[in-house]
Structure 1
Amino acid sequence: MPISHPAPQDGVLRMLEHAASIGVWRLDLDRGALEWSEQLAAIHRAPPGYRPDEPLAHYTPESRAKLAPLLQACIAEGAPFDDEAQVLQLDGRRSWVRALGQPVRDEAGRIVAVQGAVQEIAPRGARAATLLRMGAALSSGEAFVTIDANGQYTFLNEQAERLLGSDAQQLLGRRLWNSFQKTVRLRLEEQFRTACARGARLEFEELDARLAHWFEVRAFPFAGGMAAHLRDVTSRRKAQEQLRLLEGSISRLNDIVIITEAGPFSEPGPRIVFVNEAFERRTGYSRDEVVGRSPRFLQGPNSQRRALDQIRAALEEWRPARVDLINYKKNGEPYWVDLDVSPVWDKQRKLTHWVAVGRDVTERKLAEEKIQHLAFYDALTKLPNRQLLMDRLHAALSDPARPREGALMFIDLDNFKVLNDTLGHQKGDTLLQLVAERLRSCVSKGDTVARLGGDEFVILLENRGDKPLDPAKGARAVAERILAALGEPYVLPGYLHHSTCSIGVTLFGHTDRTVSELLKQADLAMYQAKNAGRNTVCFFDPEMQAVVSANAALASDLRQAWRETQFQIDYQPQVGHDGQMIGVEALLRWKHPQRGMVRPDHFIAAAEETSLIIPIGRWVLDQACAQIAAWAHRQERRHLTVAVNVSVRQFRHPEFVDEVMSAIEQSGIQPHKLKLELTESLLADGIDVTIAKMGRLKAMGVTLSLDDFGIGYSSLSYLKRLPLDQLKIDREFVKDILTDANDAAIAKAVINLAHSLDLDVLAEGVETEAQREFLARQGCHSYQGYLFCKPLPIDELEAFMERLPVEAPA
């Protein structure tokens, strides 16, 4: 807290005690305690309450070297000091101060403390020139007077003489308040005497009746009386009166009125000096909350930069500006205002204020937005319509400031007319709305999804430069997402609908093309997709057409293969430690009439993309159960299991578990004879749903195996939660198990892990006796591979089994 001032020794110290710009300190020698006044902390640019360790803590090294001996002499010998020094302030700047110190003695004459005072001074060398800067005050451009204890003038500088309209000889000996009205004079005299008695400052503004001017007086104690600065504030008082009149006339207007000072437009900008009642009603801010602040806080973070720049440019040229602007209320709610900003000049053409009158046009703006939405957006799906799409296409192709690379996708729903004709237009409209939602979810935020009409949609993909992407790769990725999304079932009122789409894509950016040409090319590519069998994508771009055509042909052949039953199942034996068969794995094969036997890795991905994997997988499951049932009637075969691979798309189908249960019940087999081999990609996401489904299958008695373990998404935290019966070591680890130490280590780890989880383990791809022996030494006793038998059709497998009789377990 502030400390008591030191006792006065002379007139200079007495002035230092009472001037507001002086800081004082006291060092108690017995306690070693240092006290600082708040003003001294301010001089050092320190926060209130700050205390250093010793009086010279923040002086420059040169000044410390000069003052330290003086302070020590004061402590030891009682010698006072008075010198100029340089302070290193806490904000890093330097300033000159006048530093005084004197001893404090007790009744016995012993020095018990040192107290001092510090005042900032101009950086001049002579002490006499900086004595309280009094000389500067006497000769400055500001009116300055001194008054004795009776309130009579004892000194006036030239500026004071001009301000009061008389020379010093006429005013000396007169009282300061003589020219004020009687009631004011009596009050000022009482305040003056109280201030002198208490050593306090005195400040007031009053009207001089003789001169008809308003004066501001700031006085501080000096030599038993006071020293005072006088300033004519008549212009300001008149402006305030005008402002009050203005306030009375506009306070009840319905339009918002804001008046600011004519300050600079750099941060933080002109300050608000007045707002009317309409402003308070519409914004929720009170007058006290906004006066003194810049109007910028009303504009929030999302206001239109162009409108703000337009206002700033106009104001910098001292001309009016009118814009529509979004402002924000106190509760954060946005509102539109039609703002008219005008400059205000005084008689000398000096800019004094800015007046902004704003009308709340939120309802008008909302109506305009609604009209614009009706003009440029489809009423049913809320997507951009043909007009808005054309505008954006023209902008993408003609605006030199925007990248000119991208893709145009033409999307048509397959067999939509059938749905409309059979179930009615209401369900057709519902389907179109669901399609629009799914299309929006397949593209990035800046891309355009539009509806041309009927069941035709267009997507404009633009490479905007923030995340550059090859247009062909980007369009292919989006097309694959769309095919998958639109191929999922649609839940319509009282009906589960399955639908697909055909997509045509054309790329732009490498050659000049018109909007019309792009639409024709995308439309043509879409019809190529229709001709390729629907539910596919075709690129007009020649560089990709060959690849896309091949994929389309494969998808078309797959559909034909399913219709004509071109698929067959081969079985590969699985054997135990004694070489006897313990089961088989059912492997899907496609016997193409022209291509011959097509490997699964060439068509399974296409089957998943076209959703054909669902019916094909169901057929494989039925065939496997039928084979288990056939072997159940033969004593030497009834112990054999049949393993079936299950794809991710098939497993995640909502009806998969019910289909497995139906196949088991219809075939009448024992559930544990059916082994479902699941891939690790199931663990990539949706792990809780996966575990729940596996739990239902396990409860039915089905055997569950994790196929290709170690090459996908395995996690021990997931693995311990899965209700598995078996782990399969992938053939990639078995192939080089004898020559690659890493593969050998992985195989050992999988076997040990399976044993620790009490799971069976089976190695696939075993081709040599040495591989089998290595696996057996590690604890793996179930195998599958060419060492024992290649995959065979059922007839050849039966013949093989007849030649090598299988011994049924006892």
Structure 2
Amino acid sequence: MTHDRDKQSSEARFHKLFDDTQAMSIQGYRADGTVVYWNAASEKIYGYSTPEALGQSLYDLIIPDEMREDVKQAVAWMFEHQQGIPTARLNLKHKDGSTVPVYSSHTVVALPNDEPIMFCMDADMRALEVAEAEVQRLSYYDPLTDLPNRRLLLERLASITRSSNNDEPVAALLLVDIDNFHSINESLGFSIGDRVLAHCAQCLRRLSQSPDDLARLGKDEFAIVLPSPHSSFDAVAAQAEHLATEVLQALETPLTLNDASHKLSACIGITLFRCPNAMAGDELLRQADIALKTAKRSGDTAISFFDRKMESAVKERLQLSQALNHAIERHQLSLAMQPQVNKYQQLIGFEALLRWNHPELGEISPADFIPIAETTGAILSIGDWVLEKSCETLVRWATNSSSKHLKLSLNVSPIQFRRGDFVPRVEQLLKRTGANPKNLRFELTESLMVGDINFIVRQMNSLRQLGVSMSLDDFGTGYASLAYLTQLPLDELKIDRAFVQDLDQRGKGELLTETLISLGRSMNLAVIAEGVETDKQFERLQELGCEFFQGYLFGRPSVDAERYFND
């Protein structure tokens, strides 16, 4: 009798748990599809009340006609083998006929002397799809002015420079910088500064050929792309100068701020380029920026064109490219380790960050030399060096009881990852060094998802079979969608620092951060937030469900990682 009472008590607890679960639809079905269980969340997601659903057929209630045969086969297989099938994203049917996207998992429970029952657990993806669309929008548009941001501008430039026709037209890129904008923020306040930026965006919209040709690049800097059918540099230069003059005149129109009239001024740098063109968008921006700085230094004109007298920046890039070819052999590269911690601020691992210290050029930022390395192909040998040093580091840590459990994360360039021999090279290096692959984690950026997604998945699966874990870096800022995430064999999502910094605003950034954390946890992925710099951010991230953290609050990158676990 005691055993029966315990069993009944346990069953009652589980029934109450299932009934009260608001976030997860749970349904139970017999082998023929008859509904035997339907919790409150199922009523909310699919529109049928529990009395309406019980005794009805799964196939009539929520399965679209085009899926019916496939679902029947899957259900038959599960009851025959008495086990579930892999979780999947499905588009099911609401009572009103609308589509309900869900992330669905299934299992068959078969108890002695009892009829087997298939349980389906469905998470409603509709709110996440809305949030994903907002994440994607913020990834490509400036939230203040609603203009395209730098990322979208670079894509626009890439599209223009790839275009080809017999005329080989010339295009222009204009960089607009508002003079003394910081004084407006300091004297009138940031809200007034935001009004000024919105006003500038409106002026540019009125003058541009298309909204797609505009962008806000930074605090007070805007860009205008000027496509042209002309193949003459002189003709396009005249067009660009005319547009720049109109922009300056529009910005000089008096603006009322705090009941006082203000007149803005600006400087504009212009570069011209022929299409098609192998020059990267970053290089075009660099040229326009050189011209802009020339205009700002000049007391005679507010408009300046890039020309060959401004080649110092291009020469510097060439100098870096040549020096980079010898950086490994001359022992100029190093790895700086930034600690990663759990919610108790206990050390769980490090991210390896590449550093280049040149004897003449000094400390060179990865933001300056990594794009060069990727363009020239030097990233392949550098990536091999980083991987080898990381493995050697893991072997060294394995000899210390206080560090043998630590994971080491390192960034892998998309160019390196797409190599056909990348996986064999990793396997060979792991064997040669004796490093434990379970302590090695590769961080991949969302830009990797542009291309053959099936190849990417195969590469990731092969690496995971070796024991290496996978992290999606800077999640939420680029190309990855929920559809991609259901395909990728990931172990971790890394929340970009931009979202962490927005937590202080308690606005959309916080909502998106919460959504991204919830998404990662619902997919059984570790979620780590980078760029944590304040106790307030740390506390808020914990409240939102994040469990792992990285940032200056816990330690800056250091070539001496041992100091973090030998103290």
Question: Structure 2-normalised TM-score?
Answer: 0.48
Higher helix share: 2
Question: Structure 1-normalised TM-score?
Answer: 0.34
Tell me which of the two structures has the higher relative contact order, counting C-alpha pairs closer than 8 angstroms and 6 or more residues apart: 2
